[in-house]
């Protein structure tokens, strides 16, 4: 049974996950459909980084936290190092606030041999938790500040096209993007 207290505290969680899952599916199909129409704009889907190891995720996050715009935008939180660890199984990636650790499942999820969470959008989602400084399960965990940080990271590191796609996906899912 779901914990009603947690649902009330982080009421946008499932909608955020659904919106981001839609965006990931569109990116996954970008070889077939590289250009799509979104909110009246024709966009070419950007390339999303995929990671082959926990150490490559760690190197990516170290570089992101050292990026001048990240340091300037979130100076207190960007100065706190993030550790990446492997998580067993195919469950959700997650951020552990107390230890500033991102846990990513590395198990292969399909016959093509890909680990679903070893991708840039998932890693940036977890990094947004770190940069907002909101503990998991709190009201702000997937709230407006979190979404704003994630959108800023996506635009900076992946591109404005993915930011637009994520904005529209949030809005279509019934949540205010920012």
The answer regarding whether domain 9-172 maps to CATH 3.30.2010.10 reads: yes
Q: Write the DSSP assignment of 22-76 as a string of letters.
A: HHHHHHHTTTT--EEEETTEEEEPPPPPB-SSHHHHHHHHHHHHHSHHHHHHSHH
Q: What is the pLDDT along the chain (178 residues), one digit of tens a residue?
A: 333 334 446 788 899 999 999 999 999 999 899 999 998 989 999 999 999 999 999 999 999 999 999 999 999 999 999 999 998 866 789 999 999 999 999 876 554 555 788 999 999 999 999 999 866 656 668 989 999 999 999 999 999 999 999 999 999 999 986 7
State the pLDDT at residue 106.
86
| pLDDT confidence of residue 147 | 95
Q: Is 101 exposed, middle or buried (0-12, 13-18, 19+ CB in 10 A)?
A: middle
Element (H, E) at 4: helix 4-9
Boundaries of every domain in the chain: 9-172
User: What pLDDT, on the 0 to 100 scale, is given for residue 128?
Assistant: 96
User: Cα separation of 101 and 35, whole Å?
Assistant: 36
DSSP notation for 144-160: HHHHHHHHHHHHHHT-H
pTM for the predicted model, two decimal places = 0.88
Rounded Cα distance between 93 and 51, Å, is 14
Q: Which of 81, 37, 83 has the alpha carbon at shortest distance from 57? A: 83
């Amino acid at each position: 049974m779901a914990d009603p207290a947690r649902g009330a505290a982080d009421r946008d969680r499932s909608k955020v996950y659904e919106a981001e899952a839609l965006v990931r599916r569109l990116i996954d199909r970008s070889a077939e459909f590289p250009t799509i129409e979104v909110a009246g704009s024709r966009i070419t889907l950007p390339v999303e980084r995929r990671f082959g190891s926990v150490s490559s995720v760690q190197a990516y996050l170290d570089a992101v936290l050292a990026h001048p715009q990240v340091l300037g935008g979130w100076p207190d939180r960007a100065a706190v190092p993030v550790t990446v660890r492997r998580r067993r199984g195919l469950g959700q990636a997650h951020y552990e606030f107390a230890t500033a650790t991102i846990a990513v499942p590395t198990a292969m999820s399909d016959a093509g041999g890909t680990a679903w969470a070893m991708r840039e959008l998932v890693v940036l989602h977890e990094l947004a938790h770190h940069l907002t400084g909101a503990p998991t399960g709190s009201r702000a965990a997937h709230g407006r500040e979190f979404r704003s940080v994630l959108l800023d990271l996506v635009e900076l590191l992946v591109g404005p096209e993915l930011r637009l796609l994520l904005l529209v996906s949030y809005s279509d899912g019934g949540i205010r993007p920012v």
